[in-house]
Amino acid sequence: MRELFIFFILLFFLSGCGEYSPSKRDVVNIHGNIENLRLLEKFTEDVSINKASEVRVVNYTDEGDPIIHDLNYSNDKLTSTIDTRADEFGNQLVKEDVCESIKKIDENNQTIYQLEGCKCIEEGINVTHIIND
């Protein structure tokens, strides 16, 4: 009986561990407070010189849910994978696309990192959005 009790306690705690915890190697954007932006800048530079690279960008929704965006560049192929399964109010999908380039756009006191030339989404994919003070 005691083993069954311990099993249910463990199951209870493990079921609550579904929240995403960003690593030190993630670019994290929590409502404009951004950490590790240099990793996204380096990824953008690597793509421009055809150097293999990868980065994870985690953007948090207004409700505090993470949207995980993995970018990978290798063999002249830029792959974007967006995971919205942890977004309680989102469509809870994993979407993959192949794009031609990533651009940094500075305008109107904001910086936008955007993927362009994507096969599935013609207008481009925003990677992250930063408000410059």
Is 58 a domain residue? yes
Q: Hey, what amino acid is at 73?
A: Y
Residue 116 maps to a domain: yes
Q: Letter for the amino acid at 118?
A: C
In a domain, 1, yes or no: no
Q: How many domains in the chain?
A: 1
Specify which residues 113 forms β-bridges with. 104, 128
Q: Where are the beta strands (DSSP E) in 25-124?
A: 26-30, 33-35, 53-60, 66-74, 77-83, 94-99, 101-107, 110-116
Residue 5 lies in a domain: no
pLDDT tens string 28-84: 999 888 999 999 999 999 999 999 999 999 999 999 999 999 999 999 999 999 999
| Cα diameter, the chain | 64
Q: What does each C-alpha distance from 129 to 46, 106, 114 come to in angstroms?
A: 20, 10, 9
Would residue 14 count as lying in a domain?
no
pLDDT of residue 14: 36
Query: To 5 degrees, how large is the angle CA 113–CA 114–CA 115?
Result: 135
Q: Is residue 12 assigned to a domain?
A: no
More confident position, 53 or 123:
53
Does residue 79 sit within a domain? yes
Model confidence at 16, pLDDT cuts 50, 70, 90, reads very low
31 part of a folded domain: yes
Look up the domain containing 50 and give its range: 23-131
Does 113 have pLDDT greater than 70?
yes
CA distance linking residue 23 with residue 9, whole number of Å: 27
Q: What per-residue confidence (pLDDT) applies to 133?
A: 75
